């Protein structure tokens, strides 16, 4: 059984479409792995290692789905979106607690939410249900982020709003792709491949939401380490890719 979540994958667009939608997931796989390794090296809390690795799992699941277009692989794509977002929610709402504390009540709520969503989705097999549940989690993250950059750390507006803006742009392009799918497919048959690649909006959805999610983890980690009196800095790997460099708190003699 196959339940497709976007018009682009419902039709055989040839190798370019499949490869574009598959390879675009690399942005959700490789950078988060590097982020998880850096987090371990910096001795930071395991919740942020989990955040990076959860994003990697989403990328791997999406890679498998777009390579196979099988229902089981679609679940591997979509359900980890819910699980990873629950981890993001936990990190954001536990930003201002003592180091290494665990909020078991919030964990219970998020695990229960994940189990309910998983059970219902496996039963009803309705993509809109998944999208609404995912949207609720994203909405919670948006509200929390706005609170932080408005009332707590206003100087983080650049990072916070950039991650949000990039993610929402990807979401917008994904909806455009769903609505105008056949028109875009027709257009791609009439233009050179190097032009058509820019209209592979589902691939751009992967890239932009992957980047937006990665930047959100940086924003969450920056917020947390500031509260714990570390000295975080945004650095660019090879002058291109943003990372967080965290220096330990200054020792007062």
Cβ atoms of residues 36 and 52 within 8 Å:
yes
pLDDT at 96 over 50: yes
Q: How many domains does the chain have?
A: 1
9 is a domain residue:
no
Quote the pTM value. Answer: 0.89
pLDDT at 40 over 80: yes
- The residue-averaged pLDDT of 62-74 equals 88
Spatial CA neighbour of 61 closest among 47, 71, 73: 73
CA atoms within a 13 Å half-sphere pointing along the CA-CB vector of 81: 23
Structure confidence at residue 69 (pLDDT) = 82
List, in sequence order, every beta strand (DSSP E) within the chain: 231-237, 241-247
Pairing assessment for the beta strands 241-247 and 231-237 based on DSSP bridges: antiparallel
Task: Give per-residue pLDDT as tens, 188-205.
Answer: 777 777 777 777 888 888
Q: What is the CATH number of the domain that holds 218?
A: 1.20.1070
Annotated ligand binding at 105? The verdict is no
4 is a domain residue:
no
Structure confidence at residue 243 (pLDDT) = 94
pLDDT at 178 over 80: no
Structure confidence at residue 176 (pLDDT) = 83
pLDDT at 156 over 70: yes
Got the DSSP string for 66-102?
A: HHH--HHHHHHHHHHHHHHHHHHHHHHHTTTS-TT--
36 is a domain residue:
yes
Q: Backbone phi, then psi, for 180, in 5-degree steps?
A: -110, 30
For the chain, the average pLDDT equals 88
Annotated ligand binding at 216? The verdict is no
212 is a domain residue:
yes
84 is a domain residue:
yes
Annotated ligand binding at 206? The verdict is yes
Structure confidence at residue 193 (pLDDT) = 72
Cα first-last separation, the chain: 66
253 is a domain residue:
no
User: Containing domain of residue 144, as a range?
Assistant: 16-247
Task: Using pLDDT thresholds of 50, 70 and 90, give the confidence band for residue 248.
Answer: confident
64 is a domain residue:
yes
Q: Tokens 């609170």 belong to which residue? A: 147
Share of the chain residues as helix, strand and coil, in percent rounded to the nearest 5: 75, 5, 20
The percent of residues above 90 in pLDDT, for the chain, comes to 64
Q: Quote the CA–CA distance of 80 and 60 in Å, as a whole number.
A: 10
Greatest mean pLDDT among 12-26, 63-77, 122-136, 221-235 lies in: 221-235
5 is a domain residue:
no
Cβ atoms of residues 222 and 244 within 8 Å:
yes
């Amino acid at each position: 059984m196959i339940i497709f979540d976007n018009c682009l994958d419902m039709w055989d667009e040839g190798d370019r479409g499949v490869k574009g939608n598959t390879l675009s997931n690399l942005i959700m796989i490789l950078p988060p792995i590097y982020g998880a390794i850096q987090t371990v090296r910096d001795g930071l809390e395991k919740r942020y290692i989990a955040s990076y690795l959860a994003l990697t799992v989403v990328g791997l699941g999406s890679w498998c789905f777009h390579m196979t277009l099988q229902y089981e692989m679609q679940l591997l794509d979509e359900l980890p979106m819910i699980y990873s977002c629950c981890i993001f929610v936990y990190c954001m709402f536990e930003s201002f607690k003592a180091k290494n504390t665990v909020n078991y009540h919030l964990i219970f709520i998020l695990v229960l939410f994940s189990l309910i969503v998983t059970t219902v989705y496996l039963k009803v097999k309705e993509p809109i249900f998944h999208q609404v549940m995912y949207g609720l989690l994203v909405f919670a993250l948006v509200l929390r982020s706005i609170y932080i950059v408005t009332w707590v750390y206003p100087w983080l507006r650049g990072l916070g709003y950039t991650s949000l803006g990039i993610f929402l742009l990807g979401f917008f392009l994904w909806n455009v792709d769903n609505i105008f799918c056949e028109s875009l497919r027709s257009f791609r048959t009439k233009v050179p491949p190097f032009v058509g690649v820019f209209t592979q909006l589902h691939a751009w959805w992967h890239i932009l939401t992957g980047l937006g999610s990665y930047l959100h983890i940086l924003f969450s980690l920056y917020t947390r380490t500031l509260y714990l009196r570390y000295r975080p800095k945004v650095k660019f790997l090879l002058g291109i890719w943003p990372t967080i460099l965290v220096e330990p708190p200054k020792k007062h003699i």
